[in-house]
Amino acid sequence: MQEQKEKIGQDGDWNMEYSNRQIKSYSGDLMQKGKYGESIVLQWLKENPNVNDVIDMREFRISQRLDVDCGIETLDRSLVLAEIKTDYNLGKTNNFIFEIFRINHFVDADKVFYLGWVFRSPAKYLLYYSPNENIIYRFTFKNIRETIGQYIAKVNPQIISVPTDEQKTTFNILIPQYLFNNKIQKFKLKINNE
């Protein structure tokens, strides 16, 4: 692999050297930060008076493949699925970042490309935790997907490629936060979880 350094993104801290790929994507510091954010969101859900129960699905392999972190049982006993993400750039930038697709480098041609979690997850909600703001943003995946489509129809979007690990490269899209005004709910956490 040719050594190259590439600064990724203008508004954030998405810098990564292509020569320093992790062996596995679900390990290391980023994974620990993500798990920390998941624990904050799951605790917040458990304390929510509108939630009857929370089913932690993170350790189930099928849930990992589907990009579903939990089931939320509402007071009327309905069950809705949610995916949890943590972004340490929220509060520093004016963008949300969404994974749109991945490329597998060393597999058969029919398995090289696959959709990112923003298009693949069957969950109803995305719960996006911002440690810098101490806020949880709640989106519906329907609104995210519609907003991405409308945004791409009007502008040339900023796409960021991230060397996920030795096997994969991930492509993300930056979407300005203001495009989600009136489409998301923001929940300010009462205590500092840092």
Q: What is the pLDDT of residues 35-74, one digit of tens each?
A: 999 999 999 999 999 999 999 999 999 999 899 999 999 9
How many domains are contained in the chain? 1
pTM: 0.84
The lowest-confidence range among 17-26, 48-57, 160-169 is 17-26
Residue 16, in any domain of the structure? no
Predicted local distance difference test score (pLDDT) of residue 18: 44
Residue 9, in any domain of the structure? no
Residue 98, domain CATH: 3.40.1350
Predicted local distance difference test score (pLDDT) of residue 32: 87
Residue 14, in any domain of the structure? no
Residue 13, in any domain of the structure? no
Residue 48, in any domain of the structure? yes
71: β partners? 55, 81
Is the pLDDT reported for residue 176 higher than 80? yes
Residue 11, in any domain of the structure? no
Predicted local distance difference test score (pLDDT) of residue 192: 53
Cβ neighbours for 68, distance < 8 A, ≥ 6 positions apart? 57, 81, 82, 83, 121, 122, 123
Cβ atoms within 10 Å of 16's Cβ, excluding its own: 19
State the residue range of the domain holding 177: 22-188
Predicted local distance difference test score (pLDDT) of residue 24: 54
Give the number of residues written for the chain.
Answer: 194
Residue 17, in any domain of the structure? no
Predicted local distance difference test score (pLDDT) of residue 30: 75
